[in-house]
Structure 1
């Protein structure tokens, strides 16, 4: 009898604690830190626009003029710019920056080996047979060449060095190298005084190492992900407050940090190891649609970030060209209302 009483007592205690934790977790969903204006921008990849079989220049101008963005993250792709060793062709990026400059659009310029869009590391073919140290030396020279070319352009407001360089779970890249990343950061600081952004996975990394190297920390924010082993994984259980608290703790622990921004807010479907243009509308809608667009905007507002860059603007334009302008038109409201 006494043994049964102890079992019941432990069960009651366990259920009570579980209920308190559940209520507390639900309470976190009610917290709203969105008391300040959110400055939205987008990331643009000429590579991705071309993969969608779009005219990338036409797409870019539509983003600037029809969508009306006033902040954009651009990318210096190593394999495009230095396809031949020691021969640099910046013509694509020159054009993008010039068009942004004409419209007073603020630019974050991403430079390095690891850059937005698959396969993450955009390697020129000529480095394939080089030793690690030789690759890093060329990589550093590419970074310096890019900074030197654009450091007099006031349209560039910040430098992003690499893209999620300390995150090893995604992309076809070598293992993270914190010491080499520090060399890149030091090299950029020696050339220019503008803020340096280091990015990290919002969901799958702790942020502290990246924050320790940066003036500003950029994070991803994904509400649903996919991989070939687990399929879709929805972060429905993560409240906006979790990102806010993590950002505040990171700022407290890293006195050098001026702020945390969202550099990649999920705003397009997962492609299931295919090209986007190979997916049916139903496959696209499994991980992203107009409702998810609206919900993700509400979510990031509630998390209280004041600078947010949306991921997938090329997809919105492609969908618009396919006769589905709903997401594009909804996005316009962020800059034109």
Structure 2
């Protein structure tokens, strides 16, 4: 019996592959959708202001960290006053200050708030108000500002020591009219940059109950830029989220990346949180300093400008205003002054121009 001959196979011509694939309807639809999304993403800066008008008469504040001025080799008082002075400086009227546990209780039971007292007194001198960060996790690296003496304590004693410190801070400034609110922990559940000890819902609720016991002032909490919701958070008075645009990534690859989250995502997220909680939403941290592969003093101006240049400052401010939150705290004032003191006033002047524009 003769074997039947199978269908003769023709060698694959790779030049014909795109044409063959294009004949598949579902692939054409996907390609068109991807193309539209890519075009929209690349041209967003032109149509965003039309669809999402920038908020006007914004309330612009700023975070200020004594630790950051020390890292930059600056005099904190000189830097702080320059940022607050309305005539010759930036004229900031809303501040987020830090009550670092390791800084103000360097030895267990021995608290010294002289420096923080001075920060708040200077703010009052310039007519600025203060939102005071409290708790273990506060802005600036290493995020978890734990004193050395607490590192090896068992869980029960450690939490008691932390609660004792938080209570002392709240009671000290409860009657100070310059301090208008408390930020309880900073991005408490954000494990991407730091994993603070015992970051549980139970501990967070205990801290909230303690602060509310001692204070009638508003309490707010924060979430990160790309993700986070109010799940497992106490019902506070306000919620904040950060906005970062260009950062140096060390995750999937080493290099600079622009966060792809569009304005509509931030607006939708804010609307959902506001509608489901009935609470106000604002930007607690708008990136206005470089995110380089090294600390700022070790990065050249060229390297710094890759993630925060004059143009990026303008783009980031517009982006934040298009999100629609009227209240926003800028991040990076210490760096603006550092660049100015080193002979480059362009960053300082640009930020001042953008603040003036946003407040009109």
Q: Distance in 1 between matches of 2:191 and 2:317?
A: 28
Residue 289 (str. 1) matches residue 305 (str. 2): no
Residue 266 (str. 1) matches residue 287 (str. 2): yes
Q: Distance in 2 between matches of 1:326 and 1:210?
A: 43
Is residue 198–residue 210 contact of structure 1 (8 Å, CA) maintained in 2?
A: no
Q: By how many angstroms is 1:195 displaced?
A: 1.2
In the TM superposition, 1:95-244 aligns within 5 A as 95-171=118-194, 173-174=196-197, 176-203=199-226, 205-209=227-231, 213-229=235-251, 230-235=253-258, 237-244=260-267
What is the number of residues matched between the two proteins?
330
Residue 314 (str. 1) matches residue 337 (str. 2): no
Q: By how many angstroms is 1:232 displaced?
A: 3.3
Q: CA RMSD in A?
A: 2.3
Q: Give CA deviations for 1:246-272 in whole Å, capped at 9, x if unaligned.
A: 1001111223x2x11111111111242
Task: Name which of 21, 28, 34 aligns with 1:12.
Answer: 28
Q: Distance in 2 between matches of 1:332 and 1:12?
A: 48
Q: Taking structure 1 as reference, are residues 164 and 51 closer, same or farther at Cα in structure 2, changes over 3 Å only?
A: same
Counterpart for residue 9 of structure 2: none
Q: Give CA deviations for 1:208-250 in whole Å, capped at 9, x if unaligned.
A: 2266532111111000122334223533533222211110011
Q: Distance in 2 between matches of 1:191 and 1:157?
A: 14
Deviates more, 1:8-17 or 1:104-113: 8-17
Q: By how many angstroms is 1:104 displaced?
A: 1.7
Q: By how many angstroms is 1:6 displaced?
A: 11
Counterpart for residue 322 of structure 2: 302
Structure 2 unaligned residues grouped into runs of 5+: 1-19
Task: Name which of 286, 297, 300 aligns with 1:280.
Answer: 300
SS in 2 for 1:227: strand
Structure 1 unaligned residues grouped into runs of 5+: none
Q: Taking structure 1 as reference, are residues 318 and 16 closer, same or farther at Cα in structure 2, changes over 3 Å only?
A: closer
Q: Distance in 1 between matches of 2:37 and 2:90?
A: 43
Q: Distance in 1 between matches of 2:74 and 2:354?
A: 24
Residue 75 (str. 1) matches residue 91 (str. 2): no
Q: Distance in 1 between matches of 2:221 and 2:104?
A: 22
